[in-house]
Chains A and B, each alone.
Chain A
Amino acid sequence: MPRQVLEDTLTADSIAADTALAASGDASAFERLYRTHVARVHTLVRRMIDADEADDVTQDVFIRAWQKLSTFRGESAFGTWLHRLAVNVVLARRKTVGMERGRFLADDAPLDNASGKPVTLELSMDFEEALARLPEGARQVFVLHDVEGYRHEEIAHMLGVVPGTSKSQLHHARMALRRHLER
């Protein structure tokens, strides 16, 4: 067996073993799961909300994962399950902090001036920074669709909007981001 394939197999199965142990209350196994997945979760959270809240929300995601491990039935990979949980936590937070649907829909207008600075100065701006400056609604649709691969129907369902709104937000996000492509 090629070494890389073997190592991948070992990784996947050690995650499965750690998931089982964590579900039985083993905090050390859960810490190993945290170490394996924290970059992915934190990056998702950081892209979808303000960066200064990303640490707190990431911690919340893992605590909820611990609490909900009994609902994980192994039908998908643990990472996939955790990722979906993270999306749900972020979107639930969006509701609790009062970012109601009206504000989401009203996000369109300032997109092209999201940076608040002359665009010509920012042509070389890091793509991640430009993404962070998008209005939250457009940013979340962009991250979910173009980065994470969700379909508009799924996004619309998660956000409580119609698919047309998701498409519109995505287009506006892309139009704003094209100004910040590294050239």
Chain B
Amino acid sequence: MNDLWTNRLSEYIDGELDHTERAAFEAHLATCGHCYATLADLRQVVARAKTLEDREPARDLWAGIRAGLTTDAPIPLRRDRLVRRRFSLTVGQLLAACLALVLLSGGGMWMALHSRGQPNQQVVDQSPPSPRGITVARWKVQSDMAIAELQDALTLNEGKLDTATVRIVRQNLAVIDRAIAQAQHALRRDPGNTYLNLHLADTMRQKIELLRRANALASES
């Protein structure tokens, strides 16, 4: 056993020996069974480390985190930060959200339409409305009302926002509206599609959130 080289086996594995040291070590390795065996073990350790898998915590930690979010005021409530990042971050974030919506919408249609095949239009049209369908319809009416109110408020408040922000908000609303229209179009063909209903609900929720944020920005200006 050669302690000098044994202590440098990891450097050899990680390619951190210079050319001369490496050559000397390899010459030693040819004659030292202990170093040879230890080197093989260490390589296994390195390989094993790369195969370790992530594990969920034993209990759900969200409740504690949620409580922490309440006690520590969320960033958007800080007016000074809000004003500073109104253009650079908020617009970028809105754009990211919209790009995602476009993909979600297109992808959602693709998945929904390709995973279920062609819907049986006649059967669907003749089915009586289910209780769930009534619930969805009621929810949709409420969402439409909320959106209408928020849009009216934004029309009144828009003048308080700078033109760049107004332009971005309008562009994003247009993207969201297209996503909603696509979802509604697909739902007319396949009203019972759970994914599409959830997707529509989520998209409308995001529209409400965008309108709410835009109104909040305007009211703080």
Contact = CB atoms under 8 A, between A and B. Distances in A.
B66 A21 contact: no
Contacts, number: 153
Interface residues of B, number: 55
B103 interface: yes
Contact of B110 (A1, A19, A40, A59): A1
A171 B9 contact: yes
Contact of A3 (B16, B111, B213): B111
Contacts of B93: 19-21, 23-24
The binding surface of chain B is classed by DSSP as helix
Contacts of B68: 59, 62-63, 66
Interface in B85-99: 85, 89-90, 92-94, 96-97, 99
Interface of A: 1, 3, 6-7, 9-10, 13-14, 16-17, 19-21, 23-27, 30-31, 34-35, 38-40, 42-43, 46, 54-55, 58-59, 62-63, 66-67, 69-70, 73-74, 127-128, 142, 146-147, 167, 170-171, 174-175, 177-178, 181-182
A24 B90 contact: yes
Interface stretch (B50-58, B116-124, B127-135, B144-152): B50-58
The 4 closest A-B pairs by CB, nearest first: A20-B93, A17-B100, A13-B100, A146-B49
B55 A39 contact: yes
A177 B38 CA distance: 12
